[in-house]
A and B are shown apart, each in its own frame.
Chain A
Amino acid sequence: MDLSLTEEQEMLKKMARDFLDREAPKSYVRAMEEDERGFTPETWEKIAGLGWLGLALPEKYGGSGGGFLDLCVLLEEMGRALLPGPFFSTVLLGACTLLEAGSEEQKKEILPRVARGERIMTLALTEPSATWEAKGVHLKAKAKGADYILDGTKLFVPDAHVADDIIVVARTGRSAKPENGVSLFLVSGKAPGITHTVLKTIASDKQCEVVFDGVAVPARSLVGVLNKGWPVVEKTLQRAAVAKCAEMVGGAQRVLEMTVEYAKQRVQFGRPIGSFQAIQHYCANMVTDVDGARFVTYEAAWRLQEGLPCAKEVSMAKAWTSEAYRRVTALGHQIHGGIGFTKEHDMQLYFRRAKAAELAYGDADFHRERVAQQMGL
């Protein structure tokens, strides 16, 4: 058992914190909430320059061959800084999925360009039914000559408005089991017949409605095997859920630190509010939530990386961390009093993102049901 980071991970963490403090201060985070794209090309280029986009990609595709744990260390820092932009969608939803299931040709064409920061990717999975299960996939892909024609609507697709490539989860066959008959297609974000609308979300992140109206894609844009796409989606969802947890751990840690700092300084009734036992016990509860979230998240990440069975641990991590982050931000607000309720204060940035992160890739109820299944209930 070794719960520490490796020396390289410590370095990565430190470098990431320095960079994000400098390049993604809260003024940037706030500005990007209003920005149409949600990030600046300059920041994106710098991120690519640091090698982060290719961190977990093999060297032969222009990456640096890191593991999933390295990626989680980085995401924890990004979550702490609330870095806006399509890093998560490009790497976790796009590149990792392609790496998992794409053809050699697809990987060679796309992944090195992702690593260089030249291509933004995302995954279009959920639909108006807003479920993370196979039965929610209705968007149709019909074979027509050498092409497939895509028709349907995808919802809550992160960063589709800026994506060069969208991996679209489509229904290609009817079967008694909804898991059968799902296929993945690699589609240009600018293909004729695609329209997107950026939705106004609680976190002011860029989730989109994407309508596919007779979008024609050649058969070679199929990712993986026809009708056998769902296990690939499941894998992606597992990685995304744990990666989202890593972001949440970083955010929760920052809220804890911010709140403890405030409790030490804010004086009421002639003494720092941090000396009141009620406040101290809230803080003690916060640290328990954060520490617990960190270890269940890293355990799930470690299992994923090592290729061990991990369905239960992944769901446990997402169920716990989703609620822990929300509790931590809620207590952070309680301790901050009125000041935290203002737009100028950073608390609100975390509070809003905590809720969005909870809802992404399955909320606590969703994952508890999965845990129940894994327990044989």
Chain B
Amino acid sequence: MEFSFTNEEQTFREDLRAFLRNELPRGWTGGREDWDNDVFPVAQQMRKKLAARGWLTMGWPREYSGMGAGPVAQAIFGEEMLYHRAPGRDQFGLRMLGPTLMLFGTEEQKREHLPRIAKGERLWCQGYSEPGAGSDLASLQTRATRDGDDYVVSGSKTWTTGAHRADWMFLLARTDPAAPKHKGITFLLMDMRSPGVSVRPLVNMVGDHAFNQVFFDDVRVPCTNVVGETNRGWYVAMALLSFERSGVEHVGAARRLLDDITRAARETLRDGRPLTADPIVRHKLAERAVETQVARALAYRVAWLQSKGQVPAYESSVSKVFGTELNQRIANTGMQVLGLHAQLEKGSPRAVLDGVLRSYYLYTVAPTLYAGSSEVQRNIIADKGLGLPRA
């Protein structure tokens, strides 16, 4: 057993940290969502610089435009980026589509897309959810009908993060309406500039424009853009979700938030004494720190399994549920500890932590829903991890 990182991994972490300290704008406090107006230009700059160093795809194999450093390095990248609240990753291309294409894509698809993801030139969005298909993803209704060498796509996707910024979308569409629910779905790659695609902004509770509703009005997609087999897209879609759920990002974010709250609590005086002199505050913060240690172990376990060539099953779900729920607990603890000041927005003269805590508290509502809600993850753990009988 060996809990340390290799020298190369450690060096990479330190180089990346130094880079982020130098390259992020002065006084940068994030930015959880890259796609909002305030953040997007910074994200684009950072992406180019990270790509130039090969760091975006540090962990990818060399034959696919990566640096061959493996899943643990890729996890370190995710953890540090989130710890620094650094924009610029394009998680849809890097973490989800890239590895999925490596498994299921044709040579042509790999050659077309992987280098562009690695260079940060082509941004992706995920067209899974629909107004009537959330957790029950397989009930999706968007249709793709064969017409010569093309599919003609019609329907609508919702909650599509970054659709207004993305160059391409990977989406699920129903290609055989007569087949059983899971058997008539195909995984497609669509150029967002195709005629018939329109994007309607949805503003989230934090006040940012990050997700959208997307409409397809007879959009033509060449058949060469099918990933895997026609009508067997469900398996491709599920493999992609397992990459999405690994969870180390949540740990990076959690550690940073807890560090910030801890610092603020130490510096905030009440009746002349720091908040951290209060045993209740000390214990709440310590409890969150213990949980963060647990979350980190669970997340790196996923990367470690991947590095041994295994495909994590229930382990990613464990990491995702624990990491996302932990972020909610930390944000809530922060609001309670820092009290009235914590509700103030960025820019408010009396805001604590530059309003980050307030927006973070609002944001933590979402990760227990997206990429499969906590309830759905627990179903997966019970089913795939423990073999409990189905209802």
Contact = CB atoms under 8 A, between A and B. Distances in A.
Interface string B285-315: 1110111011101101101100100000011
Interface string B363-391: 00000000000010111011101111111
B318 A291 contact: yes
Interface stretch (A129-137, A234-242, A275-283): A275-283
B262 A296 contact: no
B2 A369 contact: no
A277 B391 CA distance: 8
Contacts of B285: 372, 375, 377
Given A275-B391, A295-B297, A320-B294, A377 B322 contact: no
A17 interface: no
B256 interface: no
Contacts of B266: 376-377
Nearest to A265: B389
Contact of B375 (A2, A281, A288, A368): A281
Nearest to B385: A287
Given A260-B386, A275-B390, A303-B3, A1 B300 contact: yes
Nearest to B259: A375
Nearest to A280: B382
A377 B276 contact: yes
B282 interface: yes
A41 B381 CA distance: 44
B72 interface: yes
Interface stretch (A3-11, A27-35, A355-363): A3-11
A3 B322 contact: no
A368 B287 contact: yes
A73 to B, nearest CB: 9
Contacts of A283: 381-382, 386, 388
Contacts of A112: none
B298 A292 contact: yes
B304 A3 contact: yes
A346 interface: no
A375 B315 CA distance: 29
A320 B289 CA distance: 10
Interface string B1-34: 1111110010000000000000000000000000
Given A3-B301, A295-B294, A280 B3 contact: no
Interface string B308-344: 0000001100100110000000000000000000000
A13 to B, nearest CB: 12
B283 interface: yes
A296 B265 CA distance: 26
A314 B390 CA distance: 39
A244 to B, nearest CB: 16
Contacts of A4: 1
**Size bracket of the B interface:** 35 or more
Interface in A1-47: 1-6, 9
Contact of B386 (A2, A287, A365): A287
Contacts of A271: 389, 391
A325 interface: no
A145 B152 CA distance: 101
Nearest to A2: B2
Given A1-B3, A2-B1, A69-B1, A313 B293 contact: yes
A184 interface: no
B382 A281 contact: yes
B225 to A, nearest CB: 37
Contact of B3 (A293, A299, A319, A372): A299
A264 B2 contact: no
A287 B314 contact: yes
Contacts of B314: 287
Contact of B389 (A272, A293, A371): A272
Given A1-B72, A371-B289, A288 B318 contact: yes
A365 B283 contact: yes
Interface of B: 1-6, 9, 72, 262, 265-266, 276, 279, 281-283, 285-287, 289-291, 293-295, 297-298, 300-301, 303-304, 307, 314-315, 318, 321-322, 375, 377-379, 381-383, 385-391
Given A320-B290, A369-B279, 5 more contacts: A1-B6, A276-B391, A295-B301, A371-B289, A377-B286
30 contacts: A1-B3, A2-B1, A3-B2, A3-B300, A3-B304, A260-B387, A271-B391, A274-B388, A274-B389, A275-B391, A281-B375, A281-B382, A283-B388, A287-B385, A288-B322, A291-B298, A291-B318, A295-B294, A295-B298, A295-B301, A296-B293, A298-B3, A302-B2, A303-B3, A320-B294, A369-B282, A375-B262, A375-B289, A377-B266, A377-B276
5 smallest CB-CB distances across A and B, nearest first, come from A280-B382, A295-B297, A284-B378, A284-B381, A372-B282
